Amino acid sequence: MSEGKHAQLGDLVSSPQSGVSVNSEDRPHRAGEIGVLKTSAVYAGQFRPGENKAVLPGERDRVRVPVVKGSIIISRMNTPELVGASCYVDQNHDTLFLPDRLWRVLPKDGASTNMRWLSYVLLSDQFRRHVDTYATGTSGSMKNLSKANLLGFEFASPPQDHQSKIAEILDTLDEAIRGTEAVVAKLKAIKQGLLHDLLTRGIDANGDLRPPHTESPHLYKETLLGWLPKEWDVESLGDASESIIDGPFGSNLKTEHYVEEPGVRVVRLQNIQDGYFDDTEKAYIRESHAAKLARNEVVPGDVLIASLGDDGHPVGRSCRYPFEYPSAINKADCFRFRGKPCCRNGFVTLFLNDEIARRQARGYEQGVTMKRINLGNLRKIKIWLPKPAEQEAIEQRAEAANASHSEWLSELVKLRLQKSGLMDDLLTGRVAVTPLL
């Protein structure tokens, strides 16, 4: 165990300050204007200053809590998955201010606290469990965290030099993660270009991409969704499915049912990424409780679809549940799809991650800050279906193009898992940082 003691958050930071709700335009602020943050400015531990709305001129005098260097911003009111989300701010943003749903915390006078280290503490599984336990609210889609419950969070607090070293180690891993994310994004753009061609032109009997409509119009038919190969059918996602279900809400999956491994895996929103299953975040429930949720079983090969998203994480993004994983239960905001024989799960996953489907999903979105699509509207999304053999050929061609992207993606997942493991070891004191000083 590392040297140090336990502390409550209230021992180290000043009382959280929230902003105020002001009238604004739903666009980022421009030069000469000020902006109020959206709650989506705090996501996955990162501060995204571009996620703001321009404050109307008559409201400028009402804003009061600016974004300052060295502070931590915390979401006090949000969806069950995102309440308690936080990020560290590494520079001043003089023209950005907090809304009423976000808190700003600063070091308490006299407290020797490395705020970068503390920001990692607030991203830990330990803090997430604390939030899951104490966040309240009668709505299944919105929860609140009180100041008292925030400041009452207790954790290991090592000496300041140890805090700084832990922050340095985790910052180094974060830098490696960001670099790998950049490579993944570039390869993803290349892959998406090919995927769009595969999904609009398909593969002919010779195993080649069909020529585009402009070159061979006789191969295509006109539909409400554009020009498609004559052999293809158009169905709604609901009609093409054997089943689509949402995850259980509220009392069906309360915190008290969660357990440490072993247990039955729970698929959560953050696991569903654009074309891949991110295994960084793990959660389990008791086997006895999972048995009561048999209709929500997720088996290897099922399609998982996110009902919730923002600009960086689109509504309707999808992935396959990995074939090597045991059965799981899907949580609220995670749809599980199984296709009929005419509709291969792999093809559906490709389709839902393309702009063709994304454009349709945006037309059904609800919500202002966090966008959402409900099950009824998801079922309305139109999907075009080649014959199963051609769907399989498209999947295989896309898989080949995906190889390099997947290799880097695997490296990214490894880095995130390494960071998660180190956070757990170093922040709880399970592994001493002293030898690294």
pLDDT at 256 over 70: no
pLDDT number for residue 405? 80
pLDDT number for residue 168? 94
CA angle, 255 as apex, 98 and 296 as ends, to 5°?
105
180 alpha-carbon distance from chain centroid: 17
pLDDT at 433 over 80: no
- CATH code of 50's domain: 3.90.220.20
pLDDT number for residue 116? 96
- CATH code of 166's domain: 1.10.287.1120
437, 161 contact by CB (below 8 A) = yes
Same domain for 147 and 164, yes or no, is no
In this structure, is residue 1 part of a structural domain?
A: no
Q: Is pLDDT larger for residue 433 or for residue 63?
A: 63
- What are the angstrom distances between the C-alpha of 31 and each of 34, 48, 98, 309, 368? 8, 18, 18, 28, 24
Same domain for 259 and 344, yes or no, is yes
Same domain for 237 and 374, yes or no, is yes
* DSSP run (H or E) holding 15: none
Q: Which of 310, 320, 388, 400 is nearest to 352 (CA)?
A: 320
Same domain for 84 and 63, yes or no, is yes
pLDDT band at 254 (very low <50, low <70, confident <90, very high): low
Same domain for 424 and 284, yes or no, is no
Same domain for 188 and 132, yes or no, is no
pLDDT number for residue 299? 95
Same domain for 238 and 314, yes or no, is yes
- CA separation for the pair 34, 275 (Å, rounded): 37
In this structure, is residue 300 part of a structural domain?
A: yes
pLDDT number for residue 114? 95
pLDDT at 385 over 70: yes
pLDDT at 159 over 60: yes
In this structure, is residue 222 part of a structural domain?
A: no
Same domain for 12 and 66, yes or no, is yes
Q: Is pLDDT larger for residue 344 or for residue 110?
A: 344
Q: Please state the rounded mean pLDDT for residues 20-40.
A: 95
Q: Which of 231, 236, 243 is nearest to 340 (CA)?
A: 243
Amino acid occupying residue 98: L
Coil, strand or helix at 35: strand
pLDDT number for residue 44? 84
Same domain for 253 and 372, yes or no, is yes
Rounded to the nearest integer, the mean pLDDT of the chain is: 90
In this structure, is residue 284 part of a structural domain?
A: yes
Amino acid occupying residue 213: H
Same domain for 103 and 163, yes or no, is no
Q: Is pLDDT larger for residue 28 or for residue 432?
A: 28
- What are the angstrom distances between the C-alpha of 378 and each of 299, 305, 306, 381? 21, 10, 10, 6
Same domain for 198 and 340, yes or no, is no
pLDDT number for residue 361? 92
pLDDT number for residue 255? 60
pLDDT at 1 over 80: no
Amino acid occupying residue 160: Q
Same domain for 324 and 185, yes or no, is no
In this structure, is residue 228 part of a structural domain?
A: no
Other beta carbons within 10 Å of 49: 16
pLDDT at 56 over 90: yes
332, 247 contact by CB (below 8 A) = yes
pLDDT at 7 over 70: yes
pLDDT number for residue 302? 96
pLDDT number for residue 2? 43
Count: domains in the chain? 3
pLDDT tens digits, 231-252: 999 999 999 999 999 988 655 5
pLDDT number for residue 52? 96
pLDDT at 24 over 60: yes
- CA separation for the pair 430, 80 (Å, rounded): 29
In this structure, is residue 213 part of a structural domain?
A: no
- Domain assignment of residue 291, given as a range: 233-385
- What are the angstrom distances between the C-alpha of 239 and each of 174, 353, 354? 43, 19, 20
pLDDT number for residue 251? 52
Retrieve residue 310's tokens. Answer: 């923002």
pLDDT number for residue 370? 80
pLDDT tens digits, 291-330: 888 889 999 999 999 999 876 789 999 999 999 999 999 9
